[in-house]
Amino acid sequence: MSGSLCLILHAHLPFVRHPEHATFFEETWLFEAITETYLPLLESFERLDRDGIRYRIALSVSPTLLAMLDDDLLKQRYEFHLEGRIRFASTECDRTRLLPTYRALARRALESLEHARSLWREQFAGDLVRALRDLGARGNVELFTTAATHGYLPLMLGRRSSWRAQVRVGVDEFRRHFGSRPAGFWLPECAYQPGVDEVLAECGVRWFVVDAHGLLFATPRPRSGPYAPIVTPAGVAAFGRDPESSRQVWSAVDGYPGDPAYRDFHEDVGYALPWDYVGPHLHVQGSLDRAPTGIKYHRVTGGRGRKEPYDPKRADEKTAEHAAHFVESRRVQAAWLAERLGHEPVIVAPYDAELFGHWWHEGPAWLEQVIRLAAPPKQNDVRRLGSDPVSRMRTPTDVLDEGTHLQRAVPAASSWGEGGYHALWADESNHWIHPRLHEAAQHMEGLARRHPRAPGRSWLRRALDQAARELLLAQASDWAFILHVRTVPAYAASRVRDHLDAFFEIAEAIRRGRLDDPDVRECIAVRESRTPLFPAPTFDYRVFQPDRTVRSPTVRARTGASPITVKAKTGRIL
């Protein structure tokens, strides 16, 4: 084999749950992702397993997404949402009955939604967390985790307790849901700052991913660039994102999703049809704002002119072509790199899971075909993309378990955001949130220090735990990102303010000893009911204690930049 291909998917959504409203627009982010991404991907993995395809892929699932997928209220609201989409698609079939091309597309949309309902109710019984657990147990997909609320770690400088809280809660939530410790950790936005690896090591993490320049500009410079993992002084392996495979899928100019044959994400009938017709079918009743319905009749087409109708057959052909092109490109790339590096390259291709299906309609089919083409051929299977074998699929854990020589280096501060560093999450649109987050983290450290052993069922313990939850939710990187891109900035700003206001109100009640006040207790109980994630006793406010101890029991450090050997099956640093 000429190299290793590490396909990595990162599934994450911010925690959005509003029981105080009958319907809430931002909850549809989850509902659309379930229908368009999570159900199709789970079905693809089930089909691959059923067909006996041997493959390896890594999938991180954020704690906030797991909490929403496991929430009974949101499950009920998803069913209501899905039934509404099915009714609207049926209405569209009637409206387009004299337009054969569009009626066929409306019928296709209806059948897809009915199939999603069947998957949700019958195959997965409304329990996608259990479906993920079963998927991981079968061995082809390695599950791993990310930060508690996807907090942007580099901008928490000076508050190491926040790093520890985000990482520790992420690891603990993974263990609670899946019964094992994750080997990998997805740094939110691939954002790294020297020192984060020490906290990862404390929590038993073995590897993480950075963007290519995080390794290219590491100290000292890695000899293999982003095509071999390095090991940090804390003993955690860092894998670099491959620019070429990223460009082929992510680029708005050169990426596959922009092909004229694919379905256009933006051309939704919710924005095109008369309001009197489409309004009653939107999820949020009484609102005059336009919203997507999920029914899209046009393809990308190209240029700024009139969009042409979507042709599913043509899109299927293009999907197969692009899957073959991607796998062949990795084979050629691996052979070229192996010749020049003198060892098998590790090509890391990480993507947001929501790209597949939600943003890129054909994405799940493309990914399944990539896996089928890249998987080892079965006996009597003459399928080949060239004279050389296809690069084998492995996860970063597999790479470490098989044993390799890792150069010791410190990754550079970096992210995969616009510009490659941290500015996107701290510009003129969102910089105001960070001083308040820093102040709240400082207060939380003080609370945790002053109350080292709050009784488990006391109001003091409930108040401290809820204060910690509010701070973690306010720290989510999603709010700063939304403020930057200006999609729903008012909502993002209100979420930050709401969580911080609740935090400071609870913290002040603790400081003043007012936890016997019925109004204070009611406030805490209401906040607990609105944010039912990170339950006790697994969750513990003491993750914010400012303990500076760094434990790296697996590390026997060597000085300099000499290679360090990772022992097979354990990944221990020798």
Which residues 6+ apart lie within 8 Å of 365 measured at CB? 44, 316, 319
* Pairing, β 346-352 against β 4-11: parallel
**Separation of first and last alpha carbons in the chain:** 27
Token representation of residue 373: 């083409």
* Annotated catalytic residue 311: no
Q: How far, CA to CA in Å, does 285 sit from each of 18, 22, 517? A: 15, 9, 38
Determine the 3-state secondary structure of 300 from DSSP. Answer: coil
Q: Taking the CB of residue 360, how many other CB atoms lie within 10 A of it? A: 26
Of 70, 114, 321, 352, which is the active-site residue?
Answer: 352
Q: How far, CA to CA in Å, does 459 sit from each of 455, 456, 520, 540, 545? A: 9, 9, 10, 14, 19
- Cβ distance 409 to 218 under 8 Å? yes
* Annotated catalytic residue 352: yes
Of 173, 189, 202, 267, which is the active-site residue?
Answer: 189
- Cβ distance 568 to 401 under 8 Å? yes
- Cβ distance 357 to 36 under 8 Å? yes
Q: CA-CA distance, 417 to 437, in Å (whole number)?
A: 21
Which residues 6+ apart lie within 8 Å of 428 measured at CB? none
Report the amino acid identity of residue 543: V
- Cβ distance 114 to 120 under 8 Å? no
Token representation of residue 395: 């996860």
- Cβ distance 258 to 252 under 8 Å? yes
Positions marked catalytic? 189, 352
